[in-house]
Amino acid sequence: MANSSNGKDAPLPVKSRDEALSWARQLTEHLAQVAGIQINDEHADPVFTSCVGKNGESAPDDRFTLSYAVHSTVPNARHNDVVHKLRDLLTNEGLKISTYQETAANQPNSIVTARHPESRYVVDVSSTAGDNRMVLGVTTPCLKPPTGPATPTS
Average pLDDT, the chain: 89
For residue 15, give the nearest of 138, 101, 111, 98 by alpha carbon: 138
Per domain, the residue ranges of the chain are 17-53+62-139
Residue 3 has pLDDT above 50, yes or no: no
Mean pLDDT computed over 16-40:
97
Say yes or no to pLDDT of 154 above 70: no
Mean pLDDT on 47-76: 91
Does pLDDT of 96 surpass 90? Answer: yes
**Averaging pLDDT over each range in 9-23, 49-63, 72-86, which range is the top one?**
72-86
Residues 62, 145: contact at Cβ < 8 Å?
yes
Contact partners, residue 59, CB within 8 Å, separation at least 6: 51
Q: Quick one: pLDDT at residue 55?
A: 85
Instruction: Give me the DSSP letters along the chain.
Output: ---S--STTSPPPB--HHHHHHHHHHHHHHHHHHHT----SS----EEEE---TTS---TT--EEEEEEEEEE--GGGHHHHHHHHHHHHHHTTPEEEEEE---TTS---EEEEE-TTT--EEEEEE-SSTTEEEEEEE---BBPPSSS-----
Mean pLDDT value of segment 87-101: 97
Q: How confident is the model at residue 2 (pLDDT cuts 50, 70, 90)?
A: very low
Q: How far is CA 5 from the centre of its chain?
A: 21
Residue from 75, 71, 82 nearest 41 by CA = 71
